[in-house]
């Protein structure tokens, strides 16, 4: 009795190759789709951002707002819902996005991809807010010490202040002279801030 079973070489699986080509084509379409989308009116709330970034925003395609999104900041998912009368547009976007995920994933993975895009944008905005606050805090710290007559300078990532003993400094008390002295005693020192009464 002959054996009628056949084997296929995985390396020559044309269907799999066609699928890979199609997936690559679909990914390009998704990149084109994302390029058409934009996030607007994003509000990030640092005080509510615990396990995730708390935010709310609108999602636009071109000039049309078709969806809203928000995250409460407590570690849960980002919620996305359609604007009034735009459910069909949101469904089309999700269907297009699904092409890059593949047939083996459940439908809600599409939303996870969209959420990741939104969460990344919110995280970037939160970082910008925190960086701006830190910069403002450093500027206030520098200003207070400079106004008291201290010289402020930076060594690596650390800001330091030094109040010179004016009686011990030889005349003329120039910025360049003091700067050279500080660089000698603190290798790598830079970004100097001097009281206004210092001359150079």
pLDDT digits (tens, 9 = 90+) for 50-71: 889 999 999 998 889 999 999 9
Q: Compute the distance between CA of residue 173 and CA of residue 153 in angstroms, rounded to an integer.
A: 17
Q: Compute the distance between CA of residue 168 and CA of residue 174 in angstroms, rounded to an integer.
A: 13
User: Token pair for residue 61?
Assistant: 């395609």
This prediction's pTM = 0.62
pLDDT digits (tens, 9 = 90+) for 129-172: 999 998 899 889 888 888 888 888 888 888 888 877 666 555 55
The helix/strand/coil state of 151 is: strand
On whether the CB atoms of residues 152 and 188 are closer than 8 A, the answer is: no
On whether the CB atoms of residues 182 and 189 are closer than 8 A, the answer is: yes
Domain ranges in the chain are 13-130, 146-193
pLDDT value at residue 168: 57
pLDDT confidence tier of residue 122, bands split at 50, 70 and 90 = very high
% residues pLDDT > 70 (the chain): 69
pLDDT value at residue 56: 94
């Amino acid at each position: 009795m002959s054996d009628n079973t056949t084997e296929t070489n995985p390396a020559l699986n044309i269907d799999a190759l066609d699928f890979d080509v199609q997936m690559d084509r679909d990914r390009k379409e998704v990149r084109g789709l994302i390029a058409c989308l934009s996030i607007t009116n994003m509000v990030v709330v640092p005080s509510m951002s615990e396990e995730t970034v708390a935010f709310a925003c609108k999602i636009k395609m071109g000039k049309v707002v078709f969806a809203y999104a928000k995250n409460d900041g407590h570690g849960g998912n980002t919620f996305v819902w359609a604007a009034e009368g735009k459910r069909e547009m949101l469904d089309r976007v999700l269907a297009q996005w699904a092409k890059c995920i593949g047939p083996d994933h459940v439908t809600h993975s599409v939303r996870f991809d969209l959420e990741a895009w939104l969460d990344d944008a919110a995280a970037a905005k939160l970082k910008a807010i925190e960086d701006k606050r830190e910069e403002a805090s450093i500027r206030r710290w520098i200003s207070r010490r400079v106004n008291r007559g201290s010289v402020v300078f930076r060594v690596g990532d650390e800001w330091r202040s030094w109040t010179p003993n004016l009686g011990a400094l030889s005349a003329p008390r120039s910025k360049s002279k003091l700067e050279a002295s500080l660089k000698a005693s603190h290798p790598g020192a830079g970004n100097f801030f001097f009281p206004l009464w210092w001359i150079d």
